[in-house]
Structure formats: C-alpha cells, structure tokens
Structure 1
Amino acid sequence: MSGVTETASVSSLGKGDSLHHQVLAFFPLCDLTEEDLIQNPQFCKLLATLAQHVDQTGLTVPLKTELDKAEQKLQSQRRNWLRSETLHRGLQEMIQDHCVKKHHAAVPPDQTMFNETMEKCLLVAQCVRQLDLSSTTNQDQPSVLGLTPQHVMELMPSEKNVQRMRQSLPRQLEKHLKEKSLSILSYYQPEWESESEGLKTSKLSYLSAQLDKEKKRAESLKEFCRENTFLLQRQTQLYLSELTKCIQLFQSLILDHRLKIQTDLDLKKLEYFEGKCELVSQKIKTEMVEIQLDTYTPDSISAHRKIREKLEAELKACKADKQSVELKLSSFEILGKEFEALAEEYSRLKKEIELKNWALKEFTQYSEK
C-alpha cells in the first residue's frame, strides 16, 4: 500500500527530466545536480516523496503550522511593543524639541508647564517600572537605595497640572507626529515639499500604502535576486563541471597527440643529428686534406721521400750492425765471468789511457805557450 502511495506521489510530481527539475526546484538548499539525481534514481524518488510532506526549508506541515502561529503571535506582540515604544519616543522627542526651542527663542509659559509636567511624569513612570519587583522571580531582592514605588510617586506633579497635561497631550502629540510625518513625506518625495499643507496632508494619507507597496516591491525584488543567485550558482556549478570535463578531455587529447608525434619527432631529430655528424666528419676530413695540401708541396714531398729513403737505408745498416754486435756479444757471453773481468780491466785501462792522452795534450798546449 505504501509503495502505491509513493508511486502516486512521485507520478504527481512528474517523470524523467520534469521530475528532476521539480525536485531541484523544491530543494534549493541542497547541493544537488541533475546528474546526481540521474545516477541515483531511488534517492530522487525519496526526495520526491519528501516533497509531499515538507516545505522548501525542510519543515514538516504540522511544524510549519505551529511556526506560523508562533510567528503571528510574535508579530502581534511586536506591534504592541512598537506602538508603545513609538509613543514613548515621540514624547521624548517633544521634550527634546522643547529644550532646543527654549535655548533659541522664548517659549510660552503654558507650553513650558506642559513639557515639564510631561517630563516629570515620564521620569516617575520609568523609575516606578525599575523599582517594581512584582515581575521578578526573586521576591527577596533588595530595593535600590531602599526606595519603593510609593516613594517615587510622591515626586509626581500636582494633580491639576497632570490633568491639564493629559487634556492637551493628544493635540500636542498629534501635531508632533504630523510634523514628523510631513518631514518623512518630504524626504520620500522631495518635489512635494513646495506644495501646500492641505495637499501634503492629503498625500500623507496615502504614504503608508505607498511605503507598504515599496516594501513589497523590495521584498519581491529580493526574492527575485535570491532566485537568480541560486540559479546563477547552479549554472556556475554546471559550467565548472562541464569546464572540468572539457579540460580533462583536452589534456587527454594533448597527451595522446604528444605520444604519437613524439616517436616521429625523435626519428626526425635522430636523422638530423646523423646528417649533421656526417657533415661535420666530412668537413673535418676536408680541413685535414686542405692542411696537408697547404703543408706538403711537391718539392717538400720529394725531399721527404729522399730523406725517408736515406733514413730507411741507415736504419737497415744499423739493424745489420746491431745484428753483428749481438752475434759478437753472444760469442763473448760464452767465455763466462773471466772474460767479463778482462773486459772491465780493458775498459779501465782504456779510460786511463784516454785521460793521460788528454792530460798530455793539455800539458803540450801550455808548454808551447
């Protein structure tokens, strides 16, 4: 039975894309997208079912009813408080205006008496309210300086002055409120300031309706701005999501394209460097040939050939002498250590002979001189 009810409630909202849009519109505070609802159809059905029992703020119908009643009661108490507060502030403004006028111009005695009486009555009433302990939870709370409301009531003006003040108070208060209303009207519509007082009074009667109309218009614009803000946030979110997907796709395309062309690029670079190395190698060989051509002329080449032939002939002769000396040395080595001692003795005697010949030669040179 509950499944049938749930299906009926879901079908009453819509199907497919219509259901997704209605769920998103009914729960604007949830950070959801249409893609989330498509990927989670059971969750979408759950939200569609909840939409039949709660409002857009998430409150149930009974709780919303109680909240509306409490709001109405609060508004009623607020209006009563604002009425009394407005009256009290109006009286204080009248007293302040009287003090300002008294310092700038002469004020009639009856007006002075009226304002002084009203000021004393307000002060006494305020003190009595502060000293009244009937509204406090602690009845044993000590009074301020031992005063009671009866002590403060003794400071009230005379009954005669109070009666006169009460008789003229509605007229004075009405005059003050009218002047204040006219100043508000002049602020709201500056072009009406030059018109007559009667016309201003007539237009003043429509001021409340106009202000209320302007307030409703401002609230509607505020609601419109809030809806546009929500729509802009959702569109921004969708835009960022799509932009992220496009960036990922673009990155994958770039990566694939780079991997495909990297091999061809490497081959091209390899061929280029191979060709460049071959060119440098040929250039080196060419430079070497040029250096050889500049260094070795035909005459120098023929001279080098003759020198080479002569050196080769001398080398051949030296090799032959070496071979003969090696044969003699090998024959001498056969004689053993006795021949080695004779050779050393022969070498020593030869050095002594050479030394004596050099000394004899030197001696002969000096003797001839």
Structure 2
Amino acid sequence: MTESTPLSSLGKGDGLHQQVLASFPLCDLAEEDLTRNPLFCKLLATLAQHVDQTGLTASLRSELDKAEQKLQSQRRHWLRSESLHRGLQEMIQDCSVRKHHAIVPPDQTMFHETMEKCLLVAQCVRQLDPSTTTNQDQPSILGLNTQQVMELMPPEKNVQRMKQSLPRELEKHLKKKCLNLLAYYQPEWENESEGLKNSKLSHLSVQLDNEQKRAKGMKETCRENTVLLQRQTQLYLSELVKCIQLLQSLILDHRLKTQTDLDRKKLEYFEGKCELVLQKIKAEMVEIQLDTYTADAISAHRKIREKLQSELKTRRVEKQSVEMKLASFEILGRDFEALAEEYCRLLQEIEAKNWALKEFAQYNQK
C-alpha cells in the first residue's frame, strides 16, 4: 500500500477492520476494539499506509535492509574464514586420532605437524598484533613481539610443501564432511555409487536452502496462526462471558416467573394432602365405631336412652313441683323455716328409729 493510496480505498466496516488487523499483526487488537473506537481504527488505517507490518517506515526499512545486507556480507566473510580455520583444526585432530589406531605415513605426519605449527604461530601473531579497537600503548604479552614469534615458523621448505598439498587435502576433508552430511540428510544414499553421491552433493546446498526457507515459512505461518489463535481465543472468551451472562439472566427471570406457580402448586398439593388425611381419619373413626357398636348394642343403648329420657322428664316434673312448694314455703317467712327444720329433724329421727326397729325385729326372728 503506497502513501498516495486514499483512505477510502481501504474499505469500510468489517473489511476495514480486517485490513487494519492484517496490517498490524503484532498488536494485541481485536475487532471489537476497532468497532468501539472508530477514530482509532481510521488512525491505524492511515498509519498502515506509511509503515509495514513490523512498524517501520519505508526509509527506515530501506536503511535496515542495507545494514542487513552489509551484515550478511561480513558474516559470510567471517564464516568463510572461520569454517576454513575449523576445517584445518579438524584435519589436525583427525591425524592425531589416527596415530593412536594406525600407522600414519611420514609425509602425512610432516604435513599435519607443519600445518599445526603454522596455525599456532598465526594465532599468536594475531594475539600480539593490536587491532584498531585496542590501546596501542598496552604492554605486549610475555614481552614478546611479532618478529620473535615468527622465528618459530617451520622451515620454509616444509611450509611450501604444506601449501602445495593443502588445497588437495582440504578438499578431500571438506568432501568427506559433505558426504557425511549427505548421509545424515538422506541415509538412503549412503550405499550409492561415488558419481551419484557427487551429483546429489551438488544439489545439497540448494535443497538445504529450500529446507531452510520452508522452515522459516512454516515458522512465520506458525507465528501468524498463534496470533490468530490468540485473537480467536479472546473472541471466544468474550462471547462465552456474554452467553454466561445471558444464561444467568434467563435463569433468574424464569425462576422469578415460575416461583408463584410453583408456590401455588405446592399449596394445592398440601391442601389436597391435608384433605386426604382428614378423610382417612374420618374413615378410621367410622371403622372404629362400626367395630365397637354392633346392632344389639345400639338397640340396647337406644332403650337405655329412652328410659333415661323418661326418668329425666319425670324428675324435671318432680323438681318443678318441689320448686313450687318451696316457693310457697318461702312466702310464709322465717318462722316457717324453723318449723321446716324441726320437721326435717323429726323425719330423720323417725327414719332412724324405723331402721333400728327393723333391725331389732330381724334379730329377734333369728
């Protein structure tokens, strides 16, 4: 997207939101954030015309690319010298290992010893030679200088012979390492012919480069998928929270609406249950009465009741006549009350004497 691209060409609504999210994948933004803040969304859309996905401007990206190219060039130069140095050290180590397992030809021994001494002298000279970043006035190591160390070089004849054999030996060593790498990368080619291995080896760098690019692409895809998964997770969680809140409100409303009906049904249930219990009690009482009062007992009770009612009626009549007599006696006053008491006392004495005579007569008859 160039700087001259108008804002209207970015799209509207959901399309604008998707383009803004795609333009800033490293920002932790969700589509809801852009929807709630439309001005901020427009600001990001305008900013996307001047920066890339990493947040760098075009000029800064150009300078960064140039610096990256320079760094890559220096890195390749360093890797070339470093790989050459390590290859030479590996050749020396391989020779030392072979000495313990087999007899090494004298020329090979001389070659590796000369190369080892040359590497050690070169390393010491490099340590003694101050670079532009070090202090020129610092004292030398152990009081040595470059000329004194160079005197330890092997004889010139051995050095020249070593230099003549070095390219061939180094090529053999590097080829062996490449074949080992090929056997590790593609084990099925280990038992193939030398020519086929060389042919396959010529394409190994391209294959490794393609594999590296594919790995970077997969890594980038994985990163994008991670960002997308995080956004989808946030969106899912927000939607889940909304669903939970809606479900809680539905449950609360449903509970409030159905509580009255539930209470009414419970009341009807308990009323019916109480009525059933009362009817059962009445049925038990009737059953007890039926078991207790037979037809003969009811007939006898009815006769007894009739007799008691007739006697009660007779006693009520007698009571009424006695009450009338008492009322007539009360009219006579207090004088008659003494006579009545005397009369009662005499009646009691008469009854007592009659009882005594009756008992006496029964005793004489015996």
TM class, shorter-chain normalised?
0.7 to 0.9
CA contact (8 A) 2:3 2:49 kept: no
Specify which of 37, 42, 45 is matched with residue 45 of structure 1.
42
Specify which of 118, 138, 141 is matched with residue 138 of structure 2.
141
User: Partners of 2:127 and 2:36 in 1: how far apart?
Assistant: 65
Task: Give the equivalent residue in structure 2 for 1:31.
Answer: 28
Percent identity between the two aligned chains: 81
Letter in 2 for 1:17: D
Structure 1, residues 275-307: CA drift from partner, whole Å, max 9, x if none?
Answer: 4345556666777888899999979x99xxx9x
Task: Give the equivalent residue in structure 2 for 1:259.
Answer: 256
Structure 1, residues 169-213: CA drift from partner, whole Å, max 9, x if none?
Answer: 111101111111111112222222222212211221111112112
CA contact (8 A) 1:27 1:56 kept: yes
Structure 1, residues 204-229: CA drift from partner, whole Å, max 9, x if none?
Answer: 11111121122222222222333333
CA contact (8 A) 1:98 1:115 kept: yes
Specify which of 175, 179, 187 is matched with residue 176 of structure 2.
179
CA contact (8 A) 2:21 2:29 kept: yes
Specify which of 77, 88, 92 is matched with residue 91 of structure 1.
88
Q: Does 1:247 align with 2:247?
A: no
Say which is worse superposed, 129-138 or 251-260, in terms of deviation. 129-138
Gaps of at least 5 residues in structure 2 are 309-366
Task: Give the equivalent residue in structure 1 for 2:150.
Answer: 153
User: Partners of 1:294 and 1:138 in 2: how far apart?
Assistant: 130
User: Partners of 1:278 and 1:142 in 2: how far apart?
Assistant: 117
> Tell me, what secondary structure is at the counterpart of 1:104?
coil
User: Partners of 1:284 and 1:65 in 2: how far apart?
Assistant: 102
User: Partners of 1:242 and 1:216 in 2: how far apart?
Assistant: 38
User: Partners of 1:286 and 1:155 in 2: how far apart?
Assistant: 131
User: Partners of 2:292 and 2:76 in 1: how far apart?
Assistant: 119
> Tell me, what secondary structure is at the counterpart of 2:71?
helix
Specify which of 96, 99, 103 is matched with residue 102 of structure 1.
99
Using the TM superposition, give the Cα deviation of residue 258 of structure 1 relative to its aligned residue in structure 2, in angstroms. Answer: 1.2
> Tell me, what secondary structure is at the counterpart of 1:249?
helix
Q: How does 1:221-240 map to 2 (within 5 A)?
A: 221-240=218-237
User: Partners of 1:126 and 1:64 in 2: how far apart?
Assistant: 39
User: Partners of 2:3 and 2:81 in 1: how far apart?
Assistant: 52
CA RMSD of aligned residues (A): 3.0
Letter in 1 for 2:216: E
CA contact (8 A) 1:186 1:192 kept: yes
Q: Which one has more relative contact order, counting CA pairs under 8 Å at least 6 apart? A: 2
CA contact (8 A) 2:5 2:49 kept: no
User: Partners of 1:284 and 1:139 in 2: how far apart?
Assistant: 121
Q: Does 1:57 align with 2:45?
A: no
